[in-house]
């Protein structure tokens, strides 16, 4: 891809808004991400927005259920042919394998630890590893189970890049250009730092879609990479 390694999160209030964002940023970024909120509201119509562009489809549904159910869910979206489909690594190896077996041409993408969580939040749900240790452990498990991409915070990407092969794509949400509001993200870094540490793709939402000119914001961040 010659466009910037950015996945723009199409988390808009309605289909017209995400269509407008898509048209604005598609010339500048490689990937458009349809998340759970947008998919549950707009369904296939949201995917059609991405299909109308020349960007890759990142279907961010974060599946997490028993293996049989996740396999069925993966089959139900196979016709969209997403480049990436997310599942929660915490669902375990059998669940990840079930999704990967159903979608051999998609990079099943294992989410390690959500970027909205820190070590205190992890302890509150019984995970006593640091976020770094937990993310590395889950990444290794997921790749061994058939995941071909990993979602991790920019603070863990270098450690995970050191333990997985180069053909595994590392995707980092929680990136914020210098001076941007962190919002509900806790483990963050700049997009430049994430790429330098080994990320293949950075996920950016509000710093682009919330800008007065999303196209200019996407182009500016892309040029900085």
Helix (H) and strand (E) counts for the chain?
11, 8
φ, ψ of residue 11 to 5 degrees: the values are: -100, 70
Whether 62 sits among the annotated catalytic residues: the reply is yes
The vertex-58 CA angle with 52 and 63, nearest 5°, equals 135
The secondary element (H helix, E strand) that includes residue 19 is: helix 15-25
Write out the two tokens for 219. Answer: 């182009």
Write out the two tokens for 109. Answer: 């993408």
CA distance 186 to 193: 16
Give me the catalytic one of 3, 62, 140, 186: 62
Among residues 147, 207, 141, 146, the alpha carbon closest in space to that of 173 is found at 207
Going along the chain, which residue ranges are E strands? Answer: 4-9, 29-35, 56-63, 84-88, 107-111, 149-151, 169-172, 201-204
- Residue pair 56/32 in contact (Cβ under 8 Å)? The answer is yes
Point out the residues that are catalytic.
62
């Amino acid at each position: 891809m010659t466009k910037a390694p950015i996945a723009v999160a199409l988390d808009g209030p309605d289909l017209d808004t995400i269509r407008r964002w898509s048209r604005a940023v598609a010339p500048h970024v490689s990937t458009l991400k349809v998340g759970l909120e947008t998919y549950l509201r707009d369904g296939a119509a949201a995917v059609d927005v991405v299909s109308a562009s020349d960007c890759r489809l990142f279907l961010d549904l974060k599946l997490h259920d028993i293996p049989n159910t996740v396999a069925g869910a993966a089959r139900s979206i196979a016709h969209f042919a997403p480049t990436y489909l997310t599942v929660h690594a915490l669902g375990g190896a059998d669940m990840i394998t079930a999704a990967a077996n159903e979608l051999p041409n998609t990079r099943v993408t294992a989410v390690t630890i959500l970027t909205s969580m820190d070590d205190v939040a992890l302890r509150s749900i019984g995970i006593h590893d640091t976020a770094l240790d937990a993310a590395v452990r889950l990444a290794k498990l997921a790749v061994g189970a058939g995941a071909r991409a990993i979602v991790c915070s920019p603070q863990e990407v270098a450690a995970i890049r050191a333990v997985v092969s180069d053909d595994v794509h590392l995707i980092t949400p929680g990136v914020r250009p210098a001076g941007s509001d962190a919002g509900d993200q806790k483990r963050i870094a700049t997009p430049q730092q994430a790429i330098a540490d080994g990320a293949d793709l950075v996920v950016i939402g509000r710093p682009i879609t919330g800008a007065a000119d999303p196209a200019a914001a996407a182009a500016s961040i892309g040029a900085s990479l």
